[in-house]
Chain A
Amino acid sequence: MPAGNVSLEKEKLKIIPHVIVIGAGSTGSATAHDLALRGLRVTVIERGEVAFGTTGRNHCLLHSGGRYCVTDRESAIECIDENMILRKIMPDLLELNDGLFVALTEADLAFKERFLEGCAACHIPATEISVKQALAIEPFLNPKILAAVRVPDGVFEPFRFCLAFLATARENGAAVRTYSEVTDLVCSGKNVTGVKILDHRTGQKETLNADLIVNAAGPWAGEIAAKAEVSVPEIPTAGVMVALDCRLNNMVLNRLNKPSDGDIVVPQRATSVIGTTSWKVDDPDLITIPAEHVERMITQGEQLMPAVRNVPMRAKMAVARPLIAVGGTEARDVSRTFECFDHARDGMNGFVTIAGGKTTTARAMAQKVADIVCRKLDVAAECRTRDTLLVSYRLFFQQADPRNGSSVRSGQNRSFQRSGVNEHA
């Protein structure tokens, strides 16, 4: 059993503050885990299933940071640190076969020195391996590559990534309410004091009060923030990914150059996922996938692995990512790092938004938010998520959700949970 709550004397001193986290993506799940571990009472509100939004349709790349070590060092360092921590707290939820940055053109080759230098600067362990060796390890790699550098990339499965965090949070007393949509924020004067919820399973409305509300709604964070008349400088930026009908590689394959479209192929179970592109969208709920973006994925992927051309597509998907606007530049160079907005400075207290970042850095984002939340609620509890092993993701669906009468009634005698069937077989 992971570490328990705050010691008992503290509880007697004052009632435990209640924090509502909106959104059960990677950020929301990690934040719920961090806050629950620090002894706060946490309720996660998610309008769909866990990882229903951005985190679900994910490139699943456990970044080593190599991709950003030249253009965005801050983000690169965050990635490599988190990469190493995730290997400790969720060891059995990762494919750890490392990754390769491969050079295809002279320009790529020229980039190699800056790349190795960047990796060294960001303490990313990067070793160059011979082309022959690279082709032996990854037989479907383009035989015409000029150089290959090995980095500690990995692969996670986003749905279970979030479930593991949330299951651990629940073990520490958090409540997770899926299929519950935040229809409005309850504000009294300059304070956000609660949320209005519509439970789509019953159609019932409910108001839930809290001492503080964390807005981790990803590309929808702007929509949620607008309900408290504050804004978030976030541009929902969609990206297309294409999954192949087979797994062509074991290591993550990256193009050795500055980040560009479709320059990464990530293996995942029995498929390889090519990604990604980026264009601004205004409605993250309904993104039509432009055909030329899909074709671009195939042509880019084909350069890394020629076999991509004659493997049928298993699926194609697009999702909006909550990138933070840095002076309105072109969507690609928007900083990949994350930002925590304490809306007290916009005149609305008790409301914090967390945006940007990547799933790989979810734990670090959660730590930053939790530090701010604990400071605002004067809870003196340090972050312990760096070395707290997460419980099995499978527990998430077995933990009784108080309102959802159907799931396992824990502690009952050996009665088998009713797994009946629906009327319309």
Chain B
Amino acid sequence: MPKVPLQIFRYKAGEPSRYDTCTVDIPDSAHVIDAIDAAWAVHDPSLTFRRACHHSSCGSCAIRINGVEKLPCVTKLSDVWDGRTPLRLDPLRNFPVVSDLVVDISSFFQRMSAADMAITCEAEAFLPFTVDSFAVAALERKAVELPEDFSRFNRFEQCIECGICMSACPTMAADDRFLGPAGLAAIYQARHKTDDPKKVEHLLGLADGEHGVWRCHSAFECTEACPQAVDPAGKIMALRRELIARRFSKMWGK
């Protein structure tokens, strides 16, 4: 059982922030969340952090590991630890820090509520469905037939609302009113899940503002960081294409 050195960002209300170091004994097949659990259970129960499902479905545990936004529940220790240097754990960027690794995500969920994306969507007509195409490259796809009394199978959306893209986005750092990659991607998803023209008008209107899609400067950091392959940047650009096309057709009265 290797001894993993951790360097954890600590902040309590009113005190200056600092880094605590400790070493935890966990098997090398473990995930980073197991290291945080051990640090909390063994070394310091006052360490506050978020986690729930442990398999990248709830989106609560997102933090920065060695400066890069990741989900510790599905990040293998061997992928991020070189065996010597302490693993640095920081809260997500671009959110106020409430305590230690916990950040205040209320403004994030305001954005998601504004997009009002339903959390379930139509399941693909094939299996397997994955967000990590490398991992299951070997499996060949098979079609799914629906039982007669089923119009469709549903599944939960790919986006687990973890906030990683908001932390990676340079514009989110500076602009409190920017809808952000997750908000805009949710608007795209909601727009394509409804055929009610009024709702489509409203969603596109939300995205068309000064702090909507036009604030994105093509850094694509959100798509690089997203653990669920949602590709928010691609969705922002697709929204832009539709908004541009709408503008031209309005201008030429098509």
Contacts and interface: CB of A to CB of B under 8 A. Distances in A.
Does A touch B (CB under 8 Å) in the complex?
Answer: yes
Interface in B153-196: 153-158, 160, 172-173, 176-177
B179 to A, nearest CB: 12
B94 interface: yes
A396 B176 CA distance: 20
Residue in B127, B153, B158 with the greatest tally of chain A CB atoms within 10 Å: B127
Nearest to A417: B107
Interface string B98-121: 110011111111101100001110
A364 interface: no
A385 interface: no
A419 B108 contact: yes
B130 interface: yes
B113 A269 contact: no
B244 interface: no
B130 A245 contact: yes
Given A159-B60, A421-B173, A315 B55 contact: yes
Contacts of B127: 138-140, 247-250
Interface string A270-286: 11010000000001011
A202 B173 CA distance: 26
Interface size on B, as a range, is: 35 or more
B31 interface: yes
A158 to B, nearest CB: 6
Interface in B130-159: 130-132, 135-136, 138-139, 142-147, 150, 153-158
Interface stretch (B36-44, B199-207, B245-253): B36-44
Contacts of A203: 12, 46
A269 B160 contact: yes
Interface string A159-196: 11000000000000000000101000000000000000
A407 interface: yes
Given A56-B52, A201-B48, A286 B38 contact: yes
A408 B13 contact: no
B95 A97 contact: no
Contact of B12 (A201, A247, A316): A201
Given A397-B106, A416-B177, A160 B119 contact: yes
Contacts of A423: 17
A133 B41 CA distance: 49
Interface stretch (A78-86, A104-112, A305-313, A325-333): A305-313
Contacts of B49: 48-49
A68 B65 CA distance: 43
Interface stretch (A28-36, A88-96, A114-122, A228-236): A88-96
A398 B17 CA distance: 25
Contact of A95 (B13, B105, B132, B154): B154
B133 to A, nearest CB: 9
Contact of B106 (A159, A271, A408): A408
A316 B29 CA distance: 10
Given A202-B12, A422-B97, A247 B129 contact: yes
Nearest to B102: A179
Nearest to A201: B99
Interface residues of A, number: 85
Q: Specify the main secondary structure of chain B where it touches its partner.
A: loop
A321 to B, nearest CB: 14
B11 A315 contact: no
B98 to A, nearest CB: 6
Given A159-B58, A307-B139, A398 B109 contact: yes
B17 A422 contact: yes
A48 B36 CA distance: 13
Contacts of A422: 9, 11, 17, 90-91, 93, 95-97, 103
A159 B155 contact: no
Contacts of B158: 269-270
Contacts of A249: 127
B145 to A, nearest CB: 4
A251 B139 CA distance: 19
Interface of A: 48-52, 55-58, 60, 92-98, 129, 133, 136-140, 150, 155, 157-160, 179, 181, 198, 200-203, 241, 243, 245-251, 267-271, 273, 283, 285-286, 288, 291, 307, 310-312, 314-317, 392, 394-398, 404, 406-408, 416-425
14 contacts: A97-B153, A179-B99, A200-B47, A201-B99, A246-B135, A247-B129, A248-B127, A311-B135, A317-B73, A394-B109, A398-B106, A406-B96, A420-B95, A421-B173
The 10 nearest A-B residue pairs measured at CB: A56-B52, A243-B55, A139-B142, A246-B130, A159-B58, A317-B54, A201-B99, A246-B128, A419-B107, A245-B135
